[in-house]
Homo-oligomer: A and B are copies of this chain.
Amino acid sequence: MAPKYKLTYFDLGGLGESIRFLFHYGGIEFIDNRVSMADWPALKNSIPLRQMPLLEVDGKVLHQSVAISRYVGRLVGLAGKNDLEDCEIDAVVDTITDFRLHFMKHRFESNPEAKQALKEKLEKEIKPLIFGQMDLWAQKNNGYLALGRLTWADVYFVALIVSFMLSEPELLENYPNLRAMQQNVLSIPRIKAWVEKRPKDVVQ
């Protein structure tokens, strides 16, 4: 029987990787449909918001990477046990998104002076504020970001940060509890197996 789930994303980690991590964590078969940069312009025009990832489930097409990660996170048992727990996980993920937006702004700035200013802001302001807080969360939650146990927020963060660390290997240098959390996730056997066999990513 064909898998019930079909993920469509670029042939790289980025915003699709957390979804792949979550499916592998849950041992759930899915079609990992990777779109080449050559094929993307033609496909793009057929996608309403011109964005991937997309996840097809029984003919229904889901979109937005965080919304899909939340859906698959629940599917594989990594959501909260009640609404308050879900809100705690969601707030962690929204905080990760805040960091991601600052990080990407720096990454894609083409003006060298502006890029340097964004780099300084990232190092002196954003990382101490956001990673500093997340490091405390990881310390208080047994090496996870929320609820004292593994949730989809951890998997979401690690899948993303592994992509970011291709260009910035020292990203978590000053945050020992985040590094420990990353190791907790990467040592889960099914995730470890996926990271070992997945297509080698390039710096994005």
Interface residues of A (CB under 8 A from B): 48-50, 57, 60, 62-64, 66-68, 70-71, 74-75, 83-84, 86-88, 90-91, 93-95, 101, 129-130, 133, 136
Those 9 A-B pairs whose CB atoms lie nearest each other, nearest first: A67-B90, A64-B91, A64-B94, A71-B87, A67-B91, A63-B91, A48-B133, A62-B87, A67-B87
B133 touching A95, Cβ below 8 Å: no
Cβ–Cβ contact B87 & A133, under 8 A: no
Having A48-B133, A49-B133, A66-B94, one finds 10 other A-B pairs with CB under 8 Å, namely A48-B136, A49-B130, A50-B129, A64-B91, A64-B94, A67-B91, A68-B91, A71-B86, A71-B90, A101-B101
Complex Cα spacing A48 to B92, Å: 12
Listed by A's residue number, 8 A-B pairs whose Cβ atoms lie within 8 Å are: A48-B133, A48-B136, A49-B95, A49-B129, A60-B84, A64-B91, A70-B87, A71-B86
Q: Per DSSP, are chain A's interface residues mostly helix, strand or loop, or mixed?
A: helix
Known: A48-B133, A49-B129, A49-B130. A71 touches B94 (CB 8 A): no
Cβ contacts under 8 Å, A70 to chain B: 86-87, 90
Give the distance in Å from the alpha carbon of A31 to the alpha carbon of B123 in the complex: 37
Asked whether A66 and B50 contact (CB < 8 A) given A83-B71, A83-B75, A84-B60, the answer is no
- The listed residue (B64, B68, B75, B95) touching A95 by CB distance below 8 A is B64
Find out whether the CB atom of A84 lies under 8 angstroms from the CB atom of B64. Answer: no
A49 to B133, CA, bound (A): 7
Nearest Cβ on chain B to A51's Cβ, whole angstroms: 8
Measured CA separation A139–B189 after assembly (Å): 46
Chain B residue at smallest Cβ distance from A133: B48
Q: How far in angstroms is the closest Cβ of chain B from A68?
A: 7
